[in-house]
Structure 1
């Protein structure tokens, strides 16, 4: 790059990825993207090749949740469409992900040649991705490619949602103006008048409340305003719960924390806090059916203040162009301070510092396992759980300080957790991820354990072997369609030539497994937990009743 003509479109994109903090790109090679892959491999960014495109998307999604932004790169058609489900999930859950796809040469596109990986319509993939991202660009002119890349990355960071960049294979090495240092304004700006009115109305309601409560959600994490919310809660002296998707957004060791609220599937202390409140201040919560624990609303919305990333709703009033960050900061200065009175917590698995006695020769149970694991998790860990009873069980864990919990409780795509574990390992190498996944979900993306072992990573993956789709068995009916072939999950460590595989059937075997995990901190573990076919969490039973 001694002369500007040697600065290419591909190098421009790589430079921008580095500037915004993308240190790893996940993907699968294919001929339409090989030139760009070669550039990535020569750059300071680590190219992480996964077993398939869907897994690459899940890994990039989790990486983004931990790192603040991530990227995935695939070939055209077969790669782009295989990836799509993960991108839709990222869009639904406000995850900033840069999607890069190679594409056929421009000349071939213009003449509508019938090329492999396509069916003739060269614009189909970009049109589809327009619906699943906040910005979609096809880089067809090197003179304008830099501007399009900058617009895409800016949109990704501001909206906290995926963007799509399509780079034809004959554009990658074309010269373009060099990438200058830029400062991207990630702030959601507020309308001064709307902000002032929203704060005035909300403060009046909060100050007149006898039993106010706060429900915190995932947008607080996505917007990077966890410190602001923590200071607000401490200043206000108001008890709070978090939603399932927002679990760990504020430390669960905060004296005003009351638990996870999920409607019927709530910690009892959180349920009382939320439902007994005369004013509920909802901050960054996505009001989904699972967040509410079924299809039932939390309460009369006339007693709620709903603040999300860029708007506030109070009774019948909607204040648009009000950023959540500005609203929290201004409201904190406006409301009266209350005396901090710890509300008390109903620990679903008992207080973690309290010893438990499990029958060593007895079979493991779902409740017994999570009760024990709640005393095993430390500040050195971060957690993820797959959709289904693994997620509902893990929701009841009382987390130590600084332990992050990654989950996909809105989109609920089974198979997320194993490739997500890969992304988590690389985004924060100082932490050891622990993943909880059911056997049905595990079988959809199990091959990514191979990549984890290849990279010498050290997560712990607990697979619940209950012979199939337990959630569907309970929520609908028990049919053959809910059964899966029973694998020897612990033997996969041998299949993939690395890591340590263990099978656990009794409580004493569980203790031996946990001791092994502690004594081998640098090894990946896959631990097969053999449960009874119908054994499940209390949360799943409660959720069934509420649906």
Structure 2
């Protein structure tokens, strides 16, 4: 008779994947390799689906996109060549705070101890080399070499991934895949074991009173919402503050889509020196600016020109709040904002002085005159006009470059998820990320947490498409529903504007993009997975395709190639590039001194 007092035992790989399932992950991205093959046998029994990407870079991009929709994802690669191929993608996830659990199948502990000359290594017996590389690309590293502590170490690594919203790195040696560990810890969901920070009441009350006093006294306030709000779990609170106060509100490029853009006090993206001339002087004269979850990167602050005077600025981070120079540390800012909103007396909020008429983007879009049907499509109004295509629940993704700049002009319906890159800017990322985002969206639709009518819509450049084109194979393999608008302007338009409008290196080989689904094995005449492709060169053709029933449904694989002029670009991109050119040349243009910029960036780093 077995001893009933002994806890049940489970294989380590089964423990790991069960934990991953408990996090809400249902799909595993990655590429098989001889050091992870046995571990892959445990995926399906744990209730998970193997995505199976064409290469590790795209697997990493896809895992990142999945994490930005569902909050956390999992990636599996092989030792050495596999993990290094994924490194660029994991770097982007680290920089922009996407929670990715990266599992690496590594050689057996015996091989490592003997310092054998193994394939995928440098032949010097140093098996910790890649782990040391990943120390700079992950918030925690776990090397599973002791069965007695393995389950605890897995839990610790996963907690760090969730708490810091950044990648973790887990090494799983081949001889530990089937190592026996106690299953007892699985009885408690790892999310329930996360520490809940309890704010010091004295510090919390002092901060709340300080901020309330400033909110009531403000004569010219502004709220700026940034892209780390979802990573910190404060998106709802940020939206609530905007709605309840009625204060003029903008977002950064990274923060677009977090705030309901139909609010009358929403005024689009604040672009500093690259934006409307009337807005920047007004912002600089504000007496209170609340910046929520900021990312003070040059690309997200338009060359730091959107950074504001510290003496009038409130910056709300993940675990701290700085109120006009006074720093309140070790605060759970989600709890702080909830209490702030509950205590906010709207009758004491100021009657606001008039602020610049920045124009309501919804009205501007709806008042656009109908374009000439035979006129070529241009960047000036494309991004506004195509916004008619969006509906609530959609995931809208814009690739770095022309699409990302143009997408800042989008008018988004409520509950739209916007995904872009704000600091890593690895072109080709978004095509790979689209796979993971679409898979995550399908899971949410199946669980009833996202409308069944929602779609994944990607705006991709032709140069970027060529960086990660094998992602199309991943999409078709997994039968994901996507709509891709491929902007074809014969190369790297953003690079042309920075330097070399006619330079040979800024052109790309012209591909027959619309044939890519067939090359990658898309089914023909399959009603369960239809394929729709169309090339448009004029406004009339674009209007017609946007009304197509299949495209609007978003089912299957859909790609519209939108041909634009080589030298055409959104005005926001042109303005930004002028600033980049001056900065690259050491130009003196600055909103404030280098020292002041450095201080502002360091405060919220």
CA distance in 2 between counterparts of 1:142 and 1:173 reads 10
Contact 2:284–2:309 (8 Å) recurs in 1: no
Q: CA deviation at 1:297?
A: 4.6
How does 1:371-520 map onto structure 2 within 5 Å? 371-429=384-442, 430=445, 431-478=454-501, 479-498=503-522, 499-516=531-548, 517-518=550-551
State the secondary structure of the residue aligned to 1:442. Answer: helix
Q: What residue in structure 2 maps to residue 529 of structure 1?
A: 562
C-alpha RMSD of the superposition: 2.3
Contact 1:215–1:274 (8 Å) recurs in 2: no
The structure 2 residue matched to 1:540, chosen from 556, 573, 580, is 573
Taking structure 2 as the reference length, the TM-score comes to 0.85
The structure 1 residue matched to 2:180, chosen from 159, 175, 195, is 175
CA distance in 1 between counterparts of 2:338 and 2:466 reads 45
The reply to whether residue 146 of structure 1 matches residue 151 of structure 2 is yes
Q: CA deviation at 1:266?
A: 4.2
Q: Give the direction of change, closer, same or farther, for the CA distance of 1:231–1:186 in structure 2 (3 Å limit).
A: farther
Q: CA deviation at 1:369?
A: 2.4
Q: What residue in structure 2 maps to residue 215 of structure 1?
A: 224
Contact 2:60–2:89 (8 Å) recurs in 1: yes
Q: CA deviation at 1:153?
A: 0.9
Q: Give the direction of change, closer, same or farther, for the CA distance of 1:509–1:466 in structure 2 (3 Å limit).
A: same
Q: Give the direction of change, closer, same or farther, for the CA distance of 1:482–1:520 in structure 2 (3 Å limit).
A: same
Q: Give the direction of change, closer, same or farther, for the CA distance of 1:501–1:187 in structure 2 (3 Å limit).
A: farther
How does 1:99-498 map onto structure 2 within 5 Å? 99-119=102-122, 120-178=125-183, 179-182=186-189, 183-185=192-194, 187-266=196-275, 274-337=283-346, 338=349, 346-347=359-360, 351-354=364-367, 356-429=369-442, 430=445, 431-478=454-501, 479-498=503-522
CA distance in 1 between counterparts of 2:427 and 2:486 reads 13
Taking structure 1 as the reference length, the TM-score comes to 0.94
CA distance in 1 between counterparts of 2:552 and 2:68 reads 29
The reply to whether residue 74 of structure 1 matches residue 74 of structure 2 is no
CA distance in 2 between counterparts of 1:541 and 1:165 reads 43
Q: CA deviation at 1:271?
A: 5.2
Q: CA deviation at 1:336?
A: 4.4
The structure 2 residue matched to 1:39, chosen from 30, 38, 42, is 42
Count of residues in correspondence between the two structures: 546
Contact 1:237–1:340 (8 Å) recurs in 2: no
State the secondary structure of the residue aligned to 1:116. Answer: coil
CA distance in 1 between counterparts of 2:350 and 2:533 reads 51
Q: CA deviation at 1:409?
A: 1.4
CA distance in 2 between counterparts of 1:273 and 1:257 reads 15
State the secondary structure of the residue aligned to 1:170. Answer: helix
State the secondary structure of the residue aligned to 1:73. Answer: strand
Structure 1: gaps (5+ residues): none
Q: Give the direction of change, closer, same or farther, for the CA distance of 1:295–1:214 in structure 2 (3 Å limit).
A: closer
CA distance in 2 between counterparts of 1:217 and 1:500 reads 35
Contact 1:384–1:406 (8 Å) recurs in 2: yes
Q: Give the direction of change, closer, same or farther, for the CA distance of 1:269–1:167 in structure 2 (3 Å limit).
A: farther
Contact 2:100–2:167 (8 Å) recurs in 1: yes
Q: CA deviation at 1:141?
A: 1.1
Q: CA deviation at 1:87?
A: 1.2
CA distance in 1 between counterparts of 2:318 and 2:420 reads 20
Q: CA deviation at 1:476?
A: 2.2
CA distance in 2 between counterparts of 1:312 and 1:32 reads 45
Q: Give the direction of change, closer, same or farther, for the CA distance of 1:347–1:231 in structure 2 (3 Å limit).
A: closer
Q: CA deviation digits over 1:485-514, x for unaligned, max 9?
A: 111111212222323222111122212322
CA distance in 2 between counterparts of 1:186 and 1:476 reads 50
Structure 2: gaps (5+ residues): 446-453, 523-530, 581-605
The structure 2 residue matched to 1:11, chosen from 3, 14, 22, is 14
State the secondary structure of the residue aligned to 2:424. Answer: coil
